[in-house]
Structure 1
């Protein structure tokens, strides 16, 4: 439980006076805004000065991890945090840096959702408090080297049950996972594998240091450079039955997780737009050419207006989706549409931000280059544009256009 002595005067009138043009922030309560203000202060003073250096080196600033955990952002209130707070927490992280947002949501979104949806009540009682306080750090390990968009039918990692004692037993996992962010510092890997007995997908919490687990950093990335993505090899890895997610019996159960997590990525895509837009706006207000500020030129103002239009539309999408999900309505086409459209608008917004900053837009000092590059990863993960479009198209027509 986090307490705050922040006053209304100290908090200020608005957290997002320009980026949130239609004031969706008004849906937040005072205590929620106070926590977000504390997060903003940490990001501005501790994180921002490090971002360009670590992004260029392709390393995560590990010194930020524990202080970020210590902010107690996941469940900071006496009652369970509202969905709108969770959304704006992601938005605030992403408007600072996409890797920071991805790192935090790997635990607070992906891994927590895997436990919430896939674990039995008994398992949740044991694990969920440790997920919330980060004493059990985990990562969502679904994507494979040869299977991304076709993972539902193509998942190749196998699980074989070997009974050794009545009522117990051990699972043996073989295969590989790829693009798993944060795997090198996780305690457990939430691995999805196909049961050789019935052909159905099951979920397992695998000790990262277990015999047969190899975690290798993926080098040479041009996007999300601070986020440490890994290639994981599983060779005869033994997992006790107690560490199997007991509510995961098929890929339909995994799809239920993805349905919830796509909305988190839509908030990231929206936050990235806010960060790029704010950086570009600050630059054109100060940068002078031809004896005038760049912000005084018609073409620059038109681009700023388009960026704000994209950002405002994206924020409206994610806020409305959040309202639906808070009421218990989790539909594949809803989250797919939000992820698809916010990512599409994000791509244009970051390109326009880089464009109005001119030559300096390719430098890390101006911030927009980082947002521009990182947006490409967000555009593709948690469902590509095409896959999400086909999910929406299937809902519209009643016919699947996925290839077989």
Structure 2
């Protein structure tokens, strides 16, 4: 089953808005076993749109449209699809009643062009719009399927989930096996390094399939298979996950699409452990990532952003001679990272204390290069580990990679303690 997503709107071509609808629909269709082969963006021009529909109908089985269902003259999706299919348009009574109620509720007269939002294609199935006015449409024609959805995501997503998806399951997926997937999350390794470890699995894949995805400071692999039942699918996926995990035991931190901070919060909550942090160059980014996780309050007790040397001295008792002087290691040093991690742990009385200090840029600091960062992890009753990082990228990238790296090393330490 080949699908194509056609996004309609000149504003998309001009870059005025992001085509987030295509990303959402691609993920949703993949989850039910439909492969999206093409994504097309067309402006508000009936001739170009009609041509795009004709081309898509020749190469794809399912065409999903977003946008162009509104009341104005440049909302042309229904007109173009109807013309290509040789069908007429008519007013759907239920959709028209919805439009009438909307304007009556506002106490304003309805302009005639709003009737266009209630138009549907002859022989198709109207898709009610629960959050807006423009009705959608689903049509089957000579083994091809056409689904028309509104452009605003707040209208498109509910209509897809409640109206279009059930129609697709009933009319399109009559002989298709559903697709089952697992998302495997990795930290402390880049996309190229991960591929090297799994090259034979990627090159020789058939079923299950292996698809890597890279985001800043994290890598994800989606493993997928089609099967008659979930149990049958999970047997295959679990076997492949075990093989991947055996090759990358120090990097695979989750078998679901969650950030590493979520895994850390879960591990520490389960074991009753607590955490605090002292941040310099990251300015609270590490603490923000941890506290963005629901339930993190039981784990993260607090932290200090000690951006200046004065704050490092006053709030975290870093010795002045460590920070300043001709022979001082300086704020950006392993010695300072160690003291910061230990002091914040003792002040907050937590099981772990984390620290980050470095040069995020754009210029040198203490005559030290951009990207030089030190991170520390202090453990109650244990030693303090300090790591030197030499990171590349702009200021935002260095700050993000610093925060993610200290989380990675904390996860590794928690995992090692768990297996003792």
TM-score scaled by length of structure 1: 0.22
Which structure's relative contact order is higher, taking Cα pairs within 8 Å and 6+ residues apart? 1
Q: Please identify the structure whose Cα radius of gyration is greater.
A: 2
**Structure with greater helix percent:** 1
TM-score scaled by length of structure 2: 0.21
